[in-house]
Amino acid sequence: MPRAVLWDLDGTLADSREAHWRSWCEALAAQGIRITKNDFLSTFGQRNDAILEQWIGPDITAEFIRAIGDAKEESYRAIIKAEGLTPLPGAAEWVRALHAEGWRQAIASSAPRLNVEVMRGALGLAQLIETYVGAEDVKRGKPDPEVFLAAADALEVPAKRCIVVEDAEVGVEAAHRAGMRCIGVGDGSLDQAEVTVNSLADLREWAFRDLLS
């Protein structure tokens, strides 16, 4: 039977937090709005509409969300194109190894599709990760499982044959709500994941196979 790995992107395949932080600050400053680094970190990995509602309040309009979000993402893509993007330790090696073993792979991200395209190309993984799902492809962001279920459908792999790799608690919850097992990467609150490691470079070579056995 087919099997698949569904990758979160920011903080899992690539450390893009600083670029996101800089682009948020730039977009918000143009509107006279300031946020703290803790504000930013507490919402990292969520969709822009959910992030801005938490920062500004529930009365924010859809037009304002779109205007700030578009400005932020344009700034973010410009940073990535100008400065490049390096895969996190072990990430590219695992993508190549899983591809060689016949695993299907997708990116399942809360980021806009244009961001995913730019990042996938900058990481040099476009030929190995078959498809991707971005913010425009779903109605609800993580911890809703929709993004992972959409990625599994795109790969034509049953949910029970998919493994999610995540760096955020909301992503782990979304994976479990989708009926998938999860590998948690990083130093966040990821205790609910079946396997947790500080870095993909620390992951045992049989970890993915074991989770489906």
DSSP letters for 61-78: -HHHHHHHHHHHHHHHHH
Tell me the CB-side half-sphere exposure of residue 174, using CA atoms within 13 A.
29
CATH architecture classification, 4-15+86-212: 3-Layer(aba) Sandwich (3.40)
Edge-to-edge strands, sheet with 195-197 = 131-133, 104-108, 4-7, 162-166, 181-185, 195-197
pLDDT tens digits, 74-133: 999 999 999 999 999 999 999 999 999 999 999 999 888 999 999 999 999 989 999 999
Q: Which residues pair with 6 in a beta bridge?
A: 106, 164
CB 181 within 8 A of CB 211: yes
Domain boundaries, the chain: 4-15+86-212, 17-83
Q: What is the pLDDT of residue 200?
A: 97
Q: What is the pLDDT of residue 175?
A: 98
At 12, phi and psi to the nearest 5?
-115, -60
pLDDT tens digits, 44-81: 878 899 999 999 998 999 999 999 999 999 999 999 99
Q: What is the pLDDT of residue 56?
A: 93
At 49, phi and psi to the nearest 5?
-65, -40
pTM: 0.87
Query: Taking Cα atoms as reference points, which of 153, 109, 158 lies closest to residue 7?
Result: 109
DSSP 3-state of 178 = coil
For the record, the structure tokens of 115 come out as 């961001």
Helix axis angle, 169-177 to 146-155, nearest 10°: 60
CATH tag, 17-83:
1.10.150
- The CA distance from 196 to 166, in Å, is 10
User: Residues 171-176: what's their mean pLDDT?
Assistant: 96
